[in-house]
Chain A
């Protein structure tokens, strides 16, 4: 149980284009999903917290107009990187938390490798 999927697993795009990444909880309902980015040999940095049916909460320093997050259902959240540039190249990972206790463990997706040329 508690499986989270991401699609695509990797994507290469040209500078200036937009890229959408999907995060799905496959066998549970996730009232809260999180988006992280991870640079090589570094730990996970939280970008935003997404609650189903409401606007995402972004961490300090994360541009909400650049990283659009939609959490339209209890099993799907999407991250759209708008007008991507090479500095946006990174490993993007989502996680999902089951409903209930807000201090429950998060289950992570396999990640999406974004390369912007």
Chain B
């Protein structure tokens, strides 16, 4: 069965304290892994797309990496405005399957 699992469920960080979020998947024929950020009461905001193992992408304090079984979202020196729920999704047969998300809270 195709599955997408995110860990941890929640993460509380001090401002400046770097950390990583994990998205592991057990799917056959991955066609893309996507990271989104979602603020409360809003729709997900696109962050990154990764298509092949070894690929890395960066945007400001965020860096996403991909292996054959998992993806990491690294947050470097986070700021309070990085507080959000981070969702990963895998593309399967043209549809997305989402993980449950990691809720990140960054305190000053």
Which B positions have Cβ atoms within 8 angstroms of A? 31-32, 34, 36, 41-46, 49, 51, 87, 91, 94-101
Contacts and interface: CB of A to CB of B under 8 A. Distances in A.
A46 B43 contact: no
Interface of A is mostly: strand
B2 to A, nearest CB: 13
Given A44-B98, A46-B95, A111 B32 contact: no
Contact of A103 (B44, B45, B91, B97): B91
A110 B94 contact: no
Contact of A111 (B43, B94, B96): B43
A2 B97 CA distance: 21
A105 B49 contact: yes
Given A49-B94, A108-B36, A43 B43 contact: no
Contacts of A102: 94
B95 A34 contact: yes
Contact of B42 (A2, A32, A34, A110): A110
A49 B91 CA distance: 13
B43 A109 contact: yes
A3 to B, nearest CB: 11
